[in-house]
Chains A and B, each alone.
Chain A
Amino acid sequence: MYAYDSLDETLVRERAVQFRDQVGRRVSGELSEDEFKPLRLRNGLYLQLHAYMLRVAIPYGLLSSDQLRALARIARRYDRDYGHFTTRQNIQFNWIKLADAPDILDELAEAGMHAIQTSGNCIRNTTTDQFAGVAADEIEDPRPWAEIIRQWSTLHPEFSFLPRKFKVAINGSPNDRAAIAVHDIGLSMLHGPTGETGFRVWVGGGLGRTPMIAEEIRGFLPANDLLSYLEAILRVYNIEGRRDNLYKSRIKILVSALGIERFRELVEAEWAEIRDSSLRLDEAEVSRIRAQFAPPAYEVVDSGLFAAKRIEDTAFARWAARNLFPHKQPGHAAVTVSLKPIGGVPGDMSADQMEALADLADEYSYGEIRVAHRQNLVLAHVPQSRLYDLWRALDSLGLATPNLLRVTDIVACPGLDFCGLATARSIPVAQRLSERLAEIDDRHDLRELTINISGCINSCAHHHVGHIGILGLEKSGKESYQVTLGGSSAEDAAIGKIVGRGFGADEIVAAIETIVVTWLELRQGDERFLDSLRRIGQEPFRAALYGTG
């Protein structure tokens, strides 16, 4: 993975010093809360219901084992011994004191980490496929480009006060595991007619109050023009984006209002002016960065052991069938480490688990860990012959639930239990659903069925793109859960459709169970829920839930 050189390191250290000074000026009263808030947000510090929450950046979801150990130390020293992984590949600590935040940033800087721009109206963490660099279906590894975007977007002086937050995602495979269709800018790697590297560029996707699928702005962007093109898009957005209404300030609103043709005209006109500037990527710098993502020195191993253990141990076989991803290197697998124990808090990990996993990463996966969008972790380079030992170790840590993309692999935001923006709780719903549906999944093999639960319209859990989405609102002082069906964040991206009136906190679990049970009656063969839904529509589910039709 990318190793900081002295320049990268200097920046994060200086940023930590700057923040310490800003906190000092807040505490002394020199800065009011209104003046301080944009500054602390740009270092990832939120004020939530019970305490401050710190969102630490994990650029494109990639961590070294030492960095995971640093996060564990922070969890122990400054929080309550755990952290929460997010849908944008970052980590959050829920119980932070403002007074400790400068020390935390110093410790993060020591580990080559930071919380820069994880909040605020600026360019956020650029995310990618958790299987980048190892996926068998990959055209090209997007991570070097994610690192190039990271550097360009960090403390960009022109784009630090945008109309609203800005999120970029990049994938390297025709199968989209980075949800690029619902990002402000989505980039997909491809090869041009003579094999040259380039990007297909989308703009204007997003979730929240007005979910929208992105539109293609350019079919082929040569790789070395990446930064100049991004700069052109951001400049048009910074100048033209609405600033009069918080709910209409994302770029998706601008693209929708202008129409993609007019938006493209503006961007391409700006781009023509800056394409030949120093933003054009230098081959030497691209090579330098690419070299840092070279694959590890994979060993050629005999995988006879893997086959034998699968026959011998049915629990192992089940986990292997569900939590492994096809690897481009023969005899290897990318392992999903589940942070979704049945009845657990989705995406949470204790400091003990973090430290143990760091050791396992060193032992089994060249010291590298990835954060997945569904709030799990990935060990990307595991030889098949070692999978059984790894599984045993993960199982003893409670990290081996065999449920990747299954109905108990629920994505949930912290919700009203923690978050100041929330309108309903999400975690207790996730926990109860997990327990209720685990048994149905065991009996019926539901296959891939994603449930995403957001505790408010800001949709941090991406409920719009869950196969089943749940949105927690407040109605007449009570929690009311709205259900959407048919969302997808993959290359067949779709926004889920609301199925009908909302359900109370005591009704929602039964409602989801009704949906699953109804589906099982109508399922053909072993098709996925999403495929059945596309075949039969929402009506059977509406009828079962509300007794209509």
Chain B
Amino acid sequence: MQLIDYSNARPAVESDVWTHVDDDAPLPAGGPATVSLERWQASRDELAGRNQPLGVRLDSHERIDDIVADLPRFDLIALNFPNLNDGRHFSTARLLRERHGYGGRLRATGQVLRDQLDPMRRCGFDEFDIAPGKDAASALPAFDQISVTYQPAADARLTAAQLRRRLPESVDVAD
């Protein structure tokens, strides 16, 4: 499993420092750990007491309603994309960032392929768990392929309309 970290100015391939704890497994003694949404809901108080970075994992059908009040507790939220076609968590990511002001790490997991990296980042993800068997390093250029954006999203990029407003003289009519 290869992790791309784009929480800084440029994306980089990093190793994953998090332990992803199964529902029936004990939490590690130390270090950052993620649990499933179900486990968080069942063991909220116990987990809240653990003085280590905490993350929660949501499957594609799971909603953020139950974690919205607790967002400051999480250093990482991992949203799963079980297959190429399930795009629900693009919306989840934007809601976490733009509606609820979530400031921790937001990771895309599951069937994360190179060609989804850019829209994922634009929706607010800053970590990408590349699908098994795929090379993360060669996927990095995917973030830079489309430089023009038409619509506002969770990132800070200026849209075409905003650019036209601010710098009309820099945007020429095509020949």
Contacts and interface: CB of A to CB of B under 8 A. Distances in A.
> Do the two chains touch directly in the complex (Cβ atoms below 8 Å apart)?
yes
Interface of A: 3-11, 14-15, 17-18, 21-22, 34-35, 38-39, 112, 121, 151-152, 154-162, 227, 235, 238-239, 243, 273, 277-279, 282, 284-285, 288
Contacts of B86: 161, 243
A5 B88 contact: no
B17 interface: no
B123 A285 contact: no
The 10 closest A-B pairs by CB, nearest first: A161-B87, A157-B119, A157-B122, A11-B148, A151-B150, A9-B174, A7-B160, A4-B174, A158-B90, A18-B145
Contact of A159 (B84, B90, B115, B164): B90
A269 to B, nearest CB: 12
Nearest to A151: B150
Given A155-B146, A160-B87, 17 more contacts: A6-B174, A14-B147, A17-B145, A35-B84, A121-B85, A151-B151, A152-B151, A154-B150, A155-B150, A157-B90, A159-B87, A160-B116, A227-B151, A238-B91, A239-B91, A243-B88, A288-B164
Contacts of A157: 90, 118-120, 122-123, 151, 153
B153 A5 contact: no
A3 B172 CA distance: 11
B174 A14 contact: no
Contacts of B94: 158
Nearest to A234: B91
A126 B145 CA distance: 25
B90 A238 contact: yes
Interface of B: 60, 84-88, 90-92, 94, 99, 113, 115-116, 118-120, 122-123, 145-153, 159-165, 171-174
A10 B148 contact: yes
A282 B165 contact: yes
Given A152-B151, A158-B94, A3 B174 contact: yes
Nearest to A122: B87
A350 B102 CA distance: 56
B171 A7 contact: yes
Contacts of B113: 35
A116 to B, nearest CB: 11
B87 A3 contact: no
A112 B99 CA distance: 36
Query: Which of B88, B92, B94, B161 has the most A CB atoms < 10 Å from its CB?
Result: B161
Contact of B119 (A3, A11, A15, A160): A160
12 contacts: A4-B174, A5-B164, A8-B174, A10-B148, A35-B84, A159-B90, A160-B119, A238-B90, A238-B91, A239-B91, A239-B92, A284-B165
Contacts of B85: 38, 121, 161, 243
B133 to A, nearest CB: 10
Contacts of A10: 147-148
B91 A235 contact: yes
Contacts of B84: 34-35, 38, 161
Nearest to B175: A9
Given A157-B153, A161-B85, A161-B86, A5 B172 contact: yes
A35 B139 CA distance: 14
Contacts of B163: 7
Contacts of A277: 152
A18 B146 CA distance: 8
A24 to B, nearest CB: 12
Contacts of A3: 173-174
B90 A161 contact: yes
B150 A6 contact: no
Contacts of A288: 164
Contact of A285 (B119, B120, B164, B173): B164
Given A243-B86, A285-B161, A285-B164, A112 B174 contact: yes
A156 B91 contact: no
A312 B166 CA distance: 59
B152 A279 contact: yes
B11 to A, nearest CB: 16
A417 B163 CA distance: 47
A239 to B, nearest CB: 5
Nearest to A288: B164
Nearest to A15: B146
Contacts of B90: 157-161, 238
A238 B89 CA distance: 9
A277 B98 CA distance: 11
Contact of B149 (A21, A155, A159, A160): A155
Nearest to B142: A18
Contact of B146 (A4, A14, A162, A285): A14
B80 to A, nearest CB: 13
A284 B145 CA distance: 29
Nearest to A25: B114
B160 A8 contact: yes
B156 to A, nearest CB: 11
B124 to A, nearest CB: 9
A262 to B, nearest CB: 17
Contacts of A227: 151
B29 to A, nearest CB: 38
A156 B115 CA distance: 14
A518 B169 CA distance: 66
A4 B174 CA distance: 6
A161 B112 CA distance: 13
B132 to A, nearest CB: 13
A128 to B, nearest CB: 19
Query: Which of A7, A35, A38, A239 has the most B CB atoms < 10 Å from its CB?
Result: A7
